[in-house]
Amino acid sequence: MDKSPANITALVVGTLDRSLSADVRAIAGHVRKQHERTAAILAYGSCLRGVSPDESLIDLYLLMERDQDVSGNPLSRWAARLVPPNVYYAEMTEAGRTLRCKYAVVSLEAFAGRMKPKTSNPYFWARFSQPAALVYASKDRNRGGVVAAIVDAVTTMYRAALASAPARSETLDIWRLGFEETYRTELRPEADHRAGDIVVANKEFYAAAARFIGKPAVPSVSWTQRRLAGKLLSVARLLKAAFTFEGGASYAAWKIERHSGKKIVLSPWQKRHPILAGFMLLPRLLWRGAIK
């Protein structure tokens, strides 16, 4: 059995270098123009699973060269360091269609640091142990940093999954049980079948990753403590988003429209005061099950 790091790295590179739709590339270029010194951009989520951008948001992560580049606002930078990442909404018109994007901004250094086994909260490493795509890298060094971070995410996730699974579990069951535990650390967990769907959709990737990683040291994990800490962090991110989520009112209006089928038209006042508008729209979001 070949367990060399080169193989897990090659596996990750193969997923990061996947082909992307013109829609994903277009809106990635759009948001990159708004953020100077972007080191790399990752796409993840439903936009990589064939879901039409007309029906969903395109999810991106912008990784910045330096911590100072995350935001021009000192308070926003401080919030990003305390509870990363900062989240924004953007939309653009492309060939007569509206493309919508929710993107997170964090420094590449902070992103990579949260993929390590020492990071007990799975918010970052659970997400990016799922196949993502590298849309853009400003230089080879930054590309290498992203690849190394994703390799760490996959390895950290598998070690945590092993700690979650009974002895002699099948490989894909190990991954599924691990993802189920990480979803329970969110404020609102995904549907029961979600973890299994992700593993089945990427079964070759997860089987190969487990084979290349081999039998790593299994950490002592208290998922009860992780669930408590994760939910508290989720609350903190929601509170922070009320003050840092630029475009939040437009995002909230789109979410309500998508889940209720009713058009939401923002007033000029709501567009000028997105924080207050977001609070006004929040009850409707919760009622419609539009936010997680």
Residue indicated by tokens 């990784």: 63
To 10 degrees, the CA torsion angle through 234, 238, 239, 245?
Answer: 140
Residue 133 to residue 18: CA distance in whole angstroms: 6
Residue 163 to residue 292: CA distance in whole angstroms: 26
Query: Given CA atoms 50, 107, 71, 282 in this order, what sign does their dihedral have?
Result: positive
Q: What pLDDT was estimated at residue 269?
A: 60
Domains, the chain, ranges and CATH?
5-246 (3.30.460.10), 247-292 (no CATH)
* pTM listed for this prediction: 0.82
Residue 222 to residue 176: CA distance in whole angstroms: 18
Our CA angle for 132, 43, 98, nearest 5°, is 145
124-166 residue pLDDT tens:
999 999 989 999 999 999 999 999 999 999 999 999 999 888 8
Q: 90 near 103, Cβ under 8 Å?
A: yes
Q: 64 near 37, Cβ under 8 Å?
A: yes
Low-confidence ranges of the chain (pLDDT < 70): 1-5, 188-192, 242-292
Considering all CA atoms of the chain, what is the largest pairwise distance in Å, rounded to the nearest integer? 63
Q: What pLDDT was estimated at residue 1?
A: 45
Q: What pLDDT was estimated at residue 2?
A: 52
Q: What pLDDT was estimated at residue 213?
A: 93
